[in-house]
Structure 1
């Protein structure tokens, strides 16, 4: 049976998430996905704040990187990051709910560019992230036999 692009994205999300120990340990949820796009949500916990009582910038980047990974793998062709840049604009604190929304900017051949914006529960911009991807043609992200 052939899947639609949306079904493929959902299949990949479910298969990736089942094996994504780091994301699950951080409590990150993939709340929306489609071809070339993904949304990841994380609540800032006490163990995520630094000595200034703000969320560690690396964890904000991890949330953005997660949305990036799910968006660029949504076509079920194994894709990895070849680089990224992140700019942090505002602090987030314990209890804040951060949302990272990733959107494909350009995809051609083996390379792609994705923009990710991170906001808090008040819609305030926390960070922007630009990811560059490299696609491994012919290698599925989630093997078809993984479908349940």
Structure 2
């Protein structure tokens, strides 16, 4: 009996390549597992696709500032985490090179804060992402814009 054709064996053993959204979900799972900060704050990754991510968190009592409303730094942190999942969704290590936020209305304890990141453009190693923050009533409470920069490496080993 002859040895099996090595090309046929490799083809049968390998799985089909992932779609961009499947890759984004795999990257999202790996990043969320490694993101102790987001998990400790109760941030939940709802969805991730190529160039897109959505997360939410319930505003806990320890999120409130001296005015009895959600601390802006925690709103920023949820937006920043969501930004990270969106801009890393292509499995190229990507970090923030700059970002800004506009706070539009207060967020109260017990409310559910949702962040939705949408890629606006990627050109070379730089991307721009807009993150809309909404409360449980669907009202926009903040807008965050992040600028990303690709660095060396991958979140998960390339196929």
TM superposition score category, shorter chain reference: over 0.9
Deviation, structure 1 residue 51: 1.1
- Residue in 1 that maps onto 2:3: none
Contact kept, 8 Å, 1:113 with 1:131, in 2: the verdict is: yes
Alignment equivalent of 2:94, drawn from 53, 58, 79 = 79
TM-score w.r.t. structure 1 length?
A: 0.94
Deviation, structure 1 residue 144: 5.0
Structure 2: gaps of 5 or more residues: 1-14
Q: How does 1:40-79 map to 2 (within 5 A)?
A: 40-79=55-94
Deviations 1:50-95 (A, max 9, x none): 1111000000001111110000000000000000010001111110
Pairwise CA RMSD of aligned residues?
Answer: 1.1
* CA distance in structure 2 between the partners assigned to 1:104 and 1:35 by the alignment: 9
- Residue in 2 that maps onto 1:123: 138
Look at both structures and tell me which one has the larger radius of gyration over its CA atoms. 2
Deviation, structure 1 residue 142: 2.1
The number of equivalent residue pairs is 144
Structure 1: gaps of 5 or more residues: none
Structure with higher RCO (Cα < 8 A, 6+ apart): 1
* CA distance in structure 1 between the partners assigned to 2:108 and 2:40 by the alignment: 19
Contact kept, 8 Å, 1:55 with 1:92, in 2: the verdict is: yes
- Residue in 2 that maps onto 1:102: 117
Deviations 1:18-45 (A, max 9, x none): 1100000000011011000000101000
